[in-house]
Structure 1
Amino acid sequence: MAPTVRALADRVWDHVLRTEPHYALRAGRPVEHLPNGSLDEAEERAATGRSVRAALAETDDAALDRDTAALLHFIADQWACADQSWWWHFPVAPYQLFELSFTAPQAFGAITFADPNADVELFLSLAGDLARRVRGAEAKLRAQAERGWGTPRAALPGFVSAVVGLRAATQRWLSLDEHRIEPLSPALRGRLADGLGRAVTNDVLPAVDSLLRYLDGPARDTATPGVGLGQYPGGEQAYRRLVRQYASYDISPEQVHDIGQTQVAELTEKMAKLRSEIGFDGDEAAYRSVLDADERFHARHAEDVAATYQRHLAAVEPLLGHWFSVLPKAPHTVERLDPELEAGLSYGYYEQPGPANPAGRYRYNGSGLDSRSQINAATLIFHELVPGHHFHLARQEEDTALHPIRGKFAPELLGAYTEGWAEYAASLGTEMGLYADPWDRYGHYVHQRLTAQRLVVDTGLNAFGWSLEKAEAYMAATTLESPPQIHTETLRYSTDMPGQALGYRLGFLKFWELREQAARKLGAAFDVRAFHEVVLGPGALPLTAVSENTADFVAEQTTG
């Protein structure tokens, strides 16, 4: 008997819970094992993906649950090549280490010692896993170098900084206060303290220090002078796959590059027109100097950044009911990032509501304020909270009817949907009248052009042989980012997460394309709230599936 779509979804979700601690924790399950990031793990995932893909071909109820089937096809195709894509990412790049830095402390923190003997053994076991993960990172870097995938020389300082931060963090994760270990007997306290002391001294820190010595020695010897996937054996085809994966529809790097150039030109023209309208007769560089000198666009303290975000949130909140028929139940707020994460992250991230924090939070970067302009604050907070990520992710979390692979797993897997929706949502501020102030409107164009230039720079670095210097010069001419920020961004595109940044603008463009098609076909019958529910209601899906759902919506409205 052929498996059902539900049974295949269960199989995928079981694999996720077993191999990805982040999702196990969100599901309220203890983390019994930290993955080591090995090729063996990637090969197991590839086998699972191929098995699910073969089973989908035999499933006869896919039409009854088309959205879940579409998501399963996407996951299976991606997992099926996990043993190949394992080679394409450097394990100590800042964003690659973020997963460990985010989930490991949660895994240790979730241990309550309510079951004293078992929890002591689990804590010590996870400490061992942590050391194996670090040793696995060094082993992978060595294997990549032997395969011709040497660490990019320009990225090495950032890699070292990320590992130095990891070294300090591991010691915090493995420390215990007296209140926490109160349920333990003196004998178990002694066993835990002795075991952790040995783990830190003999295993964890030596593994981290060995990795640092590798980065400061052999990695420099095999480092590549260039950046981007295109410089490596098989890198061109790897990047083509990543472009399609992150877009979630069929598109080539060449097409993306051309779209990006057109978008950047259009937005540059809009910015020039707005400067003229407000009476400024200089060029963009001159206007940038004016903005840089204006204290209104540079916060003095991290608390000032939060206050600016709150002001824009207060403006959008009364308007939401006119644009959306369903609102999230969870509240929303802003909160600064943990300091150790700020150096490696360009901006911040949205954190979904959960038992410990019932509000959806935008965790913002409060460092480097003297070089971090706030002119795009309105667009950024509409993207990150309402009606952007919070309206998508909190609602998806609250929809208990969705299978977990759709409710919990899909949003992080489908960047073109998740980030594309947030970009689209931020652009609604124009129709809502939230960019009436020319400063906010200019900041909106600045933000949009930032995501548009990513289409040019990401493809330039990974598919067209751009040097880091050429990419940084292009970014300097098409963004208001500071030189350190530009350096961080270009390294992100070329050495950390190639292709990932494309989803923001590609998803934004696809949502607007679908909306305009629907509005054109339905005419006066088009209801924007109904359209938003069509794309938001099912949660994150490949954009091919969103297109099919929109076409069905138009057909039903036309027939009705």
Structure 2
Amino acid sequence: MDGKWIFSCTLFVFSSHFYITTSAELNAVTSEDDKLHQLEETLFHITKREYPEFSTLVGDHQFDDKLESYSKESIDRRVKIYTELLRAVNNLNFKALTRPRRRDADILKSYLQTYIDGYKWKDYGALSPMTPLSNMLIQPVWVPAGNYLNMDDYEKYLSRLAGIPDQIQDVKKLMQDAVDRGTTLYKTSLAEFSQESIDNLIAIYSFPIRDVVDFTDLTDAEKVDVQNRSHVHLENMRRAYKDLSHFIEKVYRPSTRKTEGLYGLKDGTEYYHACLMYHLGYRVTAEEIHAVGLREVELIHGKMKEIMRQLDFEGDLTSFYAYLRSREPNRTADDILEAYGSIISERINPTLPQIFRRVTIPNVRIQGVDKPGLMAYYGYNTFFINVQNPEEQQSHTMLAIAMHETNPGHHFQLNYITNEKIPEYRRKLKNYHLYSVPSREPTYTAYSEGWALYAEYLGEELGLYEDPHEQFGRLTMEMFRACRLVVDTGIHAFGMNHSQAIEYMKKYTDISYTHIETEINRYITWPGQSCAYKMGELKMRALRKKAEEVLGSRFDRKDFHHRVLAAGPMPLDFLDDIIDEWLEEEYEEQSDLNKASSILYNDAAFLLFLFICFFYLI
């Protein structure tokens, strides 16, 4: 039998294999904690089997000959599998679980339920896997992660190449379904195809054949065989990509939806709220988020004006931004990368022991990106910085950006959990295919992005923002995230158009027009995702305030940060439980200390009484 599956008395057809697991297999495990562990392991195995390229990426090569299916049948299959797995989790004896594991079981249930609930929206974004932010033309990062040592490895790779044309046909069928149903993307959310992009993609797939094969154990005859067969597969892929490109330009693009926001689709407002629920992890309406955004913009604007007064600047926010730009030196891309490296190693890292229990975190790589895209982002232990237009980099925002993306932000957050007992399915989240939200597995956006924005705030406590200009830079980044709340909800729920969104961002932020356009297109393409940053940070700030009020002088920010980070990615409502549990432990510990002190006090008083009596007797 290929694989072990933990489902209670259930038969599954999974790909071309049958997996049978009876309740006896779970009952053979001695404890409920161990049963839960098996179910968590099963979920991670499912993830790797359903998404073989992801399996390669995380270092598991048992599915290196397989490709993810983009068929509608695969979406149906996954929801059936997750439904049965959820049934198995519900059959656990929760009372027999330890408290931390009971929470893990609840998170597992929430994870599965998220996909099951999102299945309702499978005929929306999931039908259009060709956005600029996530599509088959983006570099397949799994290619360099594969094994290329012997002929068996290359047979698996050739099998993958042979299957890509069918995979592309499945994508085409999905997109035709979106056209037929009237659930297409907006025009700016559709990836641009070009002959150059196809050539670049073919070059990436050629890498194991062209650059690696001479360093393997293959014989000369095997090398020739691999090269000849791969040439056939690559040409078939090229034709399939061209066919998809033709379909997109002639059929799909003319059918793109007319409104930027989801409100223009059938049930679009409900769909948008499902996207918000997916990214935030708790129920909140677009109206509530919009109101929070307007309030935060006003609050941050007030803080900005206070700094402008400190600097004796007379003028509005736009003119102050112009003043800051006038102070920028002429710098090259290398200058910017070097400056970021210095900020991280010389300014941020030495302060981390003040606020964290442990700071043994691997160094982050810094890499420039010389093409249109996001200003900065993090992935695979690498801090990516857009250096296409070095003159657009703002010195006063660099510290805040570095803290968000590296330490104590994303890089620190992801590496902090290395030694924690967190299930693999949460430790190694599949953070792509965001076009299909909410019809996909959770990524816990508000937890990860909320922490990273909170990390920017920690720079204030550490005294890292050394002058009013850097303090203003932090507020600039915070304003950017607050504006997202207004614009994201405005676009998808309240009819704000592309031009209005750009004007709003220009009014309150200092982002270049090019980057604003990129951002607005991102909000249109990933509904609700940008709301997770500020809403997540506000949640973490609220939890910290609660802990400070309960513990008073006994509050230790190191302990608070450890509780938040060590728990790993999760829905934010579970983070409430973790902090409450910590506060209960602190209360009980203090109660025990008070009891002990009371006993000692009473004993001392009794001894004093005996001493006084003895003194008078003599």
TM-score (norm 1): 0.90
**Offset, 1:528:** 0.7
CA distance in structure 2 between the aligned counterparts of 1:177 and 1:249, rounded to whole angstroms:
49
The alignment status of 1:449 with 2:479, answered yes or no, reads yes
2:221 matched residue in structure 1: 187
Map Cα deviations across residues 141-178 of structure 1 (whole Å, 9 max, x no partner): 2110110123323334xx11589535422333224336
For the residue of structure 2 that corresponds to 1:74, the secondary structure is helix
Picking from 378, 382, 394, the partner of 1:373 is 394
Amino-acid identity (%) = 23
1:437 matched residue in structure 2: 467
CA distance in structure 2 between the aligned counterparts of 1:87 and 1:433, rounded to whole angstroms:
49
**Offset, 1:82:** 4.9
Counterparts in 2 of 1:89-488, with a 5 A limit?
89=125, 90-97=128-135, 101-102=138-139, 104-107=140-143, 109-114=145-150, 116=151, 118-156=152-190, 159-161=191-193, 165-175=197-207, 176-177=209-210, 180-181=213-214, 182-201=216-235, 203-296=236-329, 300-313=331-344, 314-337=346-369, 339=370, 342-343=371-372, 345-352=373-380, 360-396=381-417, 398-399=418-419, 401-409=421-429, 413-488=443-518
One-letter amino acid of the structure 2 residue matched with residue 521 of structure 1: V
* Structure 1 contact 349–384 (Cα < 8 Å) conserved: yes
* Structure 2 contact 366–384 (Cα < 8 Å) conserved: yes
CA distance in structure 1 between the aligned counterparts of 2:211 and 2:335, rounded to whole angstroms:
36
**Offset, 1:282:** 0.7
For the residue of structure 1 that corresponds to 2:143, the secondary structure is helix
Return 5+ residue gaps in structure 1 as ranges. Answer: 353-359
One-letter amino acid of the structure 2 residue matched with residue 17 of structure 1: K
* Structure 2 contact 420–566 (Cα < 8 Å) conserved: no
One-letter amino acid of the structure 2 residue matched with residue 149 of structure 1: T
Measured on the aligned residues, the alpha-carbon RMSD in Å equals: 2.3
Map Cα deviations across residues 16-45 of structure 1 (whole Å, 9 max, x no partner): 111232344324435332213222222222
**Offset, 1:529:** 0.7
CA distance in structure 2 between the aligned counterparts of 1:441 and 1:166, rounded to whole angstroms:
45
2:111 matched residue in structure 1: 75
Picking from 51, 70, 83, the partner of 1:50 is 83
**Offset, 1:254:** 1.4
**Offset, 1:58:** 1.9
Map Cα deviations across residues 120-161 of structure 1 (whole Å, 9 max, x no partner): 3212211123333333332222110110123323334xx115
One-letter amino acid of the structure 2 residue matched with residue 150 of structure 1: T
* Structure 1 contact 48–80 (Cα < 8 Å) conserved: no
Map Cα deviations across residues 58-94 of structure 1 (whole Å, 9 max, x no partner): 2213742033213212211122145444433231112
**Offset, 1:306:** 1.4
Structure of higher CA gyration radius = 2
CA distance in structure 2 between the aligned counterparts of 1:166 and 1:178, rounded to whole angstroms:
19
For the residue of structure 2 that corresponds to 1:516, the secondary structure is helix
CA 301–34 in structure 1, closer or farther in 2 if over 3 Å, else same:
farther
CA 451–332 in structure 1, closer or farther in 2 if over 3 Å, else same:
same
CA distance in structure 1 between the aligned counterparts of 2:186 and 2:316, rounded to whole angstroms:
36
CA 154–110 in structure 1, closer or farther in 2 if over 3 Å, else same:
closer
Map Cα deviations across residues 82-108 of structure 1 (whole Å, 9 max, x no partner): 54444332311122227x735x34336
CA distance in structure 2 between the aligned counterparts of 1:268 and 1:69, rounded to whole angstroms:
43
**Offset, 1:492:** 0.9
* Structure 2 contact 375–515 (Cα < 8 Å) conserved: no
* Structure 1 contact 45–82 (Cα < 8 Å) conserved: no
CA distance in structure 1 between the aligned counterparts of 2:407 and 2:211, rounded to whole angstroms:
41
CA distance in structure 1 between the aligned counterparts of 2:490 and 2:196, rounded to whole angstroms:
31
* Structure 1 contact 424–508 (Cα < 8 Å) conserved: yes
1:357 matched residue in structure 2: none
* Structure 1 contact 328–391 (Cα < 8 Å) conserved: no
For the residue of structure 2 that corresponds to 1:530, the secondary structure is helix
CA 438–132 in structure 1, closer or farther in 2 if over 3 Å, else same:
farther
For the residue of structure 1 that corresponds to 2:67, the secondary structure is coil
Q: Which stretch has the larger CA shift, 503-512 or 401-410?
A: 401-410
**Offset, 1:390:** 1.9
Return 5+ residue gaps in structure 2 as ranges. Answer: 1-22, 27-34, 432-441, 590-618
**Offset, 1:443:** 0.8
Map Cα deviations across residues 415-445 of structure 1 (whole Å, 9 max, x no partner): 1111111111111001111112111111100
One-letter amino acid of the structure 2 residue matched with residue 33 of structure 1: K
For the residue of structure 2 that corresponds to 1:59, the secondary structure is coil
**Offset, 1:549:** 0.8
Aligned residues between the structures: 538
**Offset, 1:401:** 2.9
For the residue of structure 1 that corresponds to 2:133, the secondary structure is helix
CA distance in structure 2 between the aligned counterparts of 1:34 and 1:365, rounded to whole angstroms:
31
One-letter amino acid of the structure 1 residue matched with residue 419 of structure 2: D
CA distance in structure 1 between the aligned counterparts of 2:66 and 2:249, rounded to whole angstroms:
30
CA 410–420 in structure 1, closer or farther in 2 if over 3 Å, else same:
farther
* Structure 1 contact 349–362 (Cα < 8 Å) conserved: yes
* Structure 1 contact 135–207 (Cα < 8 Å) conserved: yes
CA distance in structure 1 between the aligned counterparts of 2:43 and 2:462, rounded to whole angstroms:
41
**Offset, 1:387:** 0.9
2:553 matched residue in structure 1: 524
